[in-house]
Amino acid sequence: MPRHLLLPPLLLLVAAVGASAGDAGGERTYIVRVDADAKPSAFPTHAHWYESAVLAASGGGGEWPEGGPLIHTYSSALHGFSARMSPSAAAALAGAHGVSAVLPEHVRRLDTTRSPRFLGMLSSPPSAILADSDFGSDLVIAVIDTGISPAHRSFRDRGLGPVPPRWRGVCASGPGFPPGSCNRKLVGARFFSAGYEATSGRMNETAEVRSPLDNDGHGTHTASIAAGRYVFPASTLGYARGVASGMAPKARLAAYKVCWVGGCFDSDILAAFDAAVADGVDVVSLSVGGAVVPYYLDAIAIGAFGATEAGIVVSASAGNGGPGGLSVTNVAPWMTTVGAGSMDRAFPANVRLGNGQVLDGVSVYGGPVLQSGKMYELVYAGATSYSASTCLDGSLDQAAVRGKIVVCDRGVNSRAAKGDVVHRAGAAGMVLANGAFDGEGLVADCHVLPATAVGAAAGEKLRKYIASSTPQKPATGTILFEGTHLGVHPAPVVAAFSARGPNPQSPETLKPDLIAPGLNILAAWPSGVGPAGIPSDSRRTEFNILSGTSMACPHVSGLAALLKAAHPTWSPAAIKSALMTTAYTRDNSNGTMLDESTGKVADVFDFGAGHVDPMRAMDPGLVYDIAPADYVNFLCNLNYTEQNVRAITRRRADCRGARRAGHAGNLNYPSLSATFVADGAKAKMRTHFIRTVTNVGGGRSAYRAIVRAPEGCNVTVRPDRLAFRRDGQKLSFTVHVEAAARAKMEPGSSVVRSGALTWSDGRHAVVSPIVVTLQAPVQ
C-alpha cells in the first residue's frame, strides 16, 4: 500500500563513525533510536511514523516496494527501528522530531564434561549453588547466537515442571524446525535475518535455513554450556568421556538466531534483545563481538542497557583478540564481560622428531592414527611462498607433500581449513605451528587428518630442524596421540586468545570483568555438522570440543541464572558483583595464574577480577549495587553530551549535577581503576573513589579493610571499618590513591601496577582489584 508522508522538522545532526555494514558511498543499514513518547498524533502507530520519516528523509513521497522501508521495529529493549538508507538520508533523519540517535550498523562475529566439576559444581550430592537454586529451575536464559538443535539430548525436558507462566515468547518454525520443536526445556526460539538480508541480499537457502535451526554448531554448543541437561555418556571422538551438563541444568532456554554465513548484524541483534525483553527472559548470553566504538554508537551496548534496565543479566564474551592489549570488546559496564581460561584437562598429541626431540602439542583428532613405529618425512613450504607456509587452498604441491607430515603456520585461514587443504593434497598428517604473536597458546581441534598444534618455540625448533635436513638425511617425525589427561597443573591459565584490557572506551572500568573456562570445552553439537566445522567433514558426533571466549561467556550466563534463582531480589549489578568479588587469582599450584601465551604471570588486564568461583559467589557477604541512574551519571562523567546519553538510556539527562558530584571512576563498580599522566617528577597523581556496599551476608556483621597497595602507590580507605546492623543495609567509603612519580619513562610508554582492596568479616572476603596506570605523554 502507498504511504502518505509528512516531512518532520530538522533539529539535530548525527555523528556516524566506525566501520559500517554496506558500501561507503551508497545505502547502508542504520539503527534509529526515538523517544517513546514523541510520536506525532497524526500517525496511528509508531510504524507509520517511522516509515514516513524514512521516506521523507530519503527524498519525498510516493510508493515503496512491498514490505515497506523498515527492517525491524523495536519497542522493549529500546524504541526505534532499522532501515536501509543513504548517509545523507540518515543525516536528515537525525534531525527529525523525536529522534535521539542514528547509528550505522556494524557486522559482528562469533567470538562440558569437566567444567562443572572443575568449578566445584557436583550434582550428587548437589553443591550449594545447585541445591539453593533448584538447578536454575524456572529461570529463562536467552542465547543470542546461531540458533539451536532442538532434538539434542541436552535439551530434553524430562522431569521439568510446566513452562513458567510469566513466559511470553514464541516458538517459530521453519525448515528443519517444525512446529512442536520447543518443549519445557527449550521454551522459545526465534530467528532474525532481515538486517542480514537487507545488506547481503536474500540468503542462499541451500546453505542456510530460514528458521531457528542451528546449521553452524556454535549456538547449540553455547546453549548447552549455559543450561544443558545431564547427558551420559558424552565425548568427542572418544575424548573427554564423562557426564555432560550445563551450569544451570534445569534452567529454561530461549534461542534467538542472529548469526548467518555473512556475520551477525547489529539490526538483527537489537531485534533479538528487543524480543528477549518482551518475552520475559532472565539472562541474556551473547557470544558475539566486534567493533569497539563509543557506547552511544554501539548497538550491543544500547540493547544490553535496555535489558539491564528491565532486570536482565547480560553476559558477553570478551573477544578472541588476545594476547594483545586493548583487544577486549563488549566493554559497557552494565554487561559482564567474560574472558577465557583453561581447566585441569588436556589432550596431548606430541611430535617426536627423528633427532630424538619431543615437542608438546594438543589435538582431539579421532580417526585412524599414523602407523606405529614409522617416522614420516616432514616438509615445510615456508621458503616456497607465504600461501604455502600457511597452507592456503591450492597452495601445496601434491607431489611434494604426498605421504608426508606438513608443517603449517597459523594465520589467514582457519585451523580446520588448513587441515582440509593438507588432507586433500594427500599428506599423511599436519603440524600446526604458532607464530610469535600466538605465543604458546594451544587449541585442540577435531582435524580431518592426523594433526596436532604446537607453540611458537616448538614451531621454531621444528622449522629449523627441517631447514637443516638434507636429501641424504631428511627431517622425520611422527605424532603421538595420548588421549585425555586430567589433573593437569597449573590450571587455570589465561587462554592466549582471550582478549585483554585495558578498556578502550572507559579505562575507569576494568575489563574483562573475570574469566571462566573457555579452552577445549566439550558441549552439545548438531547432528548435521561435522566436528571440524568445514563442509568436507562427513563425520558426526553428538558433542564437540571448542575453544573461545564464546565458550567462557555461557558458563557465566548459567551461573548468573543460578544466582538469580537463589537470590531473586538481586539486581544484575549485584549478581555481577558477587561473581567478581569472589573470583580467585591463584591456580592449582598455588601461584598467581599464568598467561598461556608467555608462560609468565598474568595480570588484571588478562583476567580482570580473577577466575569465577561459583561456590563463593553464592554468599559474597557484600555487593556493589548499581541502579540505571548511576550509569547515567557515569556517562555524563565520560563527557558525553546529553544527546549521547539519551541515545543509550532513553531518558533525558541533566549532566551538570553528575559532573559536579565526581568523575567516571565513581561508578559503584566492583573494581577500581585509575590512569595518571606522569608528566615529570612533580606531577600530581592522586584520585579518590567513592563506593557503597550492601550487606547480603545476613544480619549484623563488621568488616575491616585490608589493602594491598599497587607498587609505588599509597592507598587509604576511610572509614576502614564498616559495621552493619541488618541485612540489606548500605554503607559507603572512600578510597584515596596516590601514585609516586617515576624518575624515567619513555615518551608514550605506560606502567601498570595492581593491588587489591579486601573487606573481611572473618567469614567473607570481598575483593576488588585496584589498578593504577602511569602514562607518559607523547613528546
**Whole-number Å distance between alpha carbons of 415 and 411:** 8
Query: Annotated catalytic residue: which of 550, 557, 577, 754?
Result: 550
Neighbours of 19 (CB within 10 A): 11
Question: Nearest-CA neighbor of 71 among 268, 234, 260?
Answer: 268
Query: Annotated catalytic residue: which of 218, 221, 567, 764?
Result: 218
Contact 452, 350 (CB under 8 A): yes
Contact 241, 484 (CB under 8 A): yes
**Whole-number Å distance between alpha carbons of 320 and 328:** 8
**Whole-number Å distance between alpha carbons of 429 and 162:** 51
**Whole-number Å distance between alpha carbons of 732 and 740:** 27
Put the strands of the sheet holding 721-724 in their side by side order: 672-677, 765-775, 750-760, 701-708, 721-724
Neighbours of 369 (CB within 10 A): 14
H or E stretch including 730?
strand 730-739
82 by DSSP, 3-state: which? strand
Contact 245, 167 (CB under 8 A): no
Q: How many residues does the chain have?
A: 779
Query: Annotated catalytic residue: which of 111, 138, 145, 630?
Result: 145
Contact 524, 223 (CB under 8 A): yes
**Whole-number Å distance between alpha carbons of 659 and 661:** 5
Q: β-strand 451-454 against 543-546: which pairing, if any? A: unpaired
Contact 361, 451 (CB under 8 A): no
Give Dmax over CA atoms of the chain in angstroms.
Answer: 88
61 by DSSP, 3-state: which? coil
739 is written with which cell numbers? Answer: 601514585
Put the strands of the sheet holding 713-718 in their side by side order: 622-623, 686-695, 730-739, 713-718
Packed helices 642-649 and 299-309: angle between N→C axes, nearest 10 degrees = 60
Active site residue 218: yes
679 by DSSP, 3-state: which? coil
Contact 55, 43 (CB under 8 A): no
| Burial state string for 383-415 with b = 16 or more CB within 10 A and e = fewer than 16 | eeeeebbbbbeebbeeeebeebbbbbbbbebeb
Beta strands (DSSP E) in 570-727 are 622-623, 672-677, 686-695, 701-708, 713-718, 721-724
**Whole-number Å distance between alpha carbons of 266 and 21:** 9
- Measured CA distances, 642 to 78, 123, 649 (Å): 17, 50, 10
- Measured CA distances, 668 to 49, 619, 694 (Å): 39, 20, 11
- Residues β-bridged to residue 674: 772
95 by DSSP, 3-state: which? coil
Q: What is the DSSP code (8-state) at residue 261?
A: T
For 402, residues 6+ apart whose C-beta sits below 8 A from its C-beta are 425, 426, 427
Neighbours of 677 (CB within 10 A): 13
3 is written with which cell numbers? Answer: 504511504
H or E stretch including 589?
none
Contact 654, 641 (CB under 8 A): no
For 426, residues 6+ apart whose C-beta sits below 8 A from its C-beta are 398, 401, 402, 403
Is residue 754 classed exposed, middle or buried when 0-12, 13-18 and 19+ CB atoms within 10 A define those classes?
buried
Task: Give catalytic residues, as residue numbers.
Answer: 145, 218, 550
